[in-house]
Amino acid sequence: MEELLSSLIHLMLARQASDAHFVLKEGRLHFQLRCLGKMDDQDDGIFDAKLFQYLKYVSHLDLGDLARPQSGNLTRVYHGKKLQFRFSLLCTNEIQTGVLRLLNQHSFKTLEEICTDPQQQKVLLSLCQGRQGLSLFSGPTGSGKTTTLHVLLRTAALCCQKQVITLEDPIEIQDSNYVQLQINEKSGLTYETGIEQLLRHDPDVIMIGEIRSSATARMALRAALSGHSVFTTVHAKTCSEVLTRLLEFGVEQHEMRQIVSFVSTQRLVMKADREGRMCLYEMLYGDDLNDYFQCGHLPKSHRTMKQQLLNAFHQGYIAEEGLLDEVSYE
């Protein structure tokens, strides 16, 4: 089985895949890879159900309680490099689905490397300087949110001399320059209890991996209101949708107006030379954010993600297929 797992790891690395997706139905295993943010079907004959069962075993999942959604971590050494993975399992009466995510394939980047727009670089740097407020980041799976967050945290810790603490599930990028806590619900460390604990350690900047519930949203607001700079992510496609999600979590409009200082969504798009990808950001902050709260819609001065994509294409930064894929997504 280890040979099959090694073959899977080799394939993921060769295809630059962030995730391997499995669907087990009637003994047959359907297999896909998420490569450069897009789902690619693979030959179903490459791997069989035995590998799927082995992934559950080596991830230390509770095989006697498959009705409950589960996730676990595993570590393997491949060509001398230590790789960390998370395997998530979700089962119904007829289908078992699993996702294997490669966690720590990241080299440390700078603000200039993740953002090419000088004005946006200044805005991101101001977030690192630790002013009070809630900064919300969004984007589809594989859009680079985690990388963006950790570039900001690293900059805050090293360049701005800020005390940084994170609360993550799981820790995808490890950095010794700040304190990282991993959610462990079995031992009682949830997002809600974790936020309470880290507030006692006098942080300047707090990163909460994701707002998943009303309780987490309330705790994030509490942390920001107590004088901290709080970074977190929300599942949404646009900046305005991020704020709508907060409303759905029970956050009042007047509370958002008081504490939300920055909202962004991002996309990773193929460069024009096809030698890699670049990240594009839609940002909502300052007067535009205040206008949104007052009027309930984006001001004319705001540049949407679609406009950012079109501008990058016309300036020759991104490939046409990347533009078409992302505009159709919008």
The pTM of the full predicted model, rounded to 2 decimals, is 0.79
Residues 89 and 176 in one domain: no
Kindly state the tokens that stand for 120. 């946006």
Q: Which two tokens stand for residue 123?
A: 């805005």
Question: Which residues in the chain land under pLDDT 50?
Answer: 328-330
Q: What confidence tens digit (pLDDT) does each residue in 162-208 have?
A: 999 999 988 888 888 999 998 888 788 888 888 888 888 999 999 99
The amino acid occupying position 218 is R
User: Are residues 76 and 214 both part of a single domain?
Assistant: no
The domain that holds 16 is classified in CATH as 3.30.450.90
**pLDDT confidence of residue 130:** 72
Check residue 313 and give its pLDDT: 92
User: Are β-strands 95-102 and 81-91 bridged in parallel, bridged antiparallel, or unpaired?
Assistant: antiparallel
**Whole domain around residue 81: which residue ranges?**
2-102
Boundary (domain end) residue, out of 102, 137, 161? 102
Are 66 and 201 contained in the same domain? Answer: no
User: Is-contact 265 238, C-beta < 8 A?
Assistant: yes
> Within this chain, do residues 140 and 78 fall inside the same structural domain, yes or no?
no
pLDDT of residue 171: 85
**Are residues 133 and 213 both part of a single domain?**
yes
Using a pLDDT cut of 70, give the percent of the chain over it.
Answer: 96
Residues 36 and 89 grouped into a single domain:
yes
| Structural domain total, the chain | 2
143 in the same domain as 289: yes
Question: Does residue 93 sit in the same domain as residue 115?
Answer: no
pLDDT at residue 328, rounded to an integer: 46
Residues 13 and 151 in one domain: no
Q: What is the mean pLDDT of the chain?
A: 90
Q: Do residues 197 and 84 both lie within one domain?
A: no
Question: Does 78 share its domain with 169?
Answer: no
Q: What is the CATH number of the domain that holds 249?
A: 3.40.50.300
Does residue 58 contact residue 5 with C-beta atoms inside 8 Å? yes
Domain boundary among 63, 78, 102: 102
Query: So what's the pLDDT on residue 45?
Result: 80
Q: 44 and 19, same structural domain?
A: yes
pLDDT of residue 329: 46
Residue that terminates a domain, selected from 102, 134, 168 = 102
| SS percent in the chain: helix, strand, coil, step 5 | 40, 30, 35
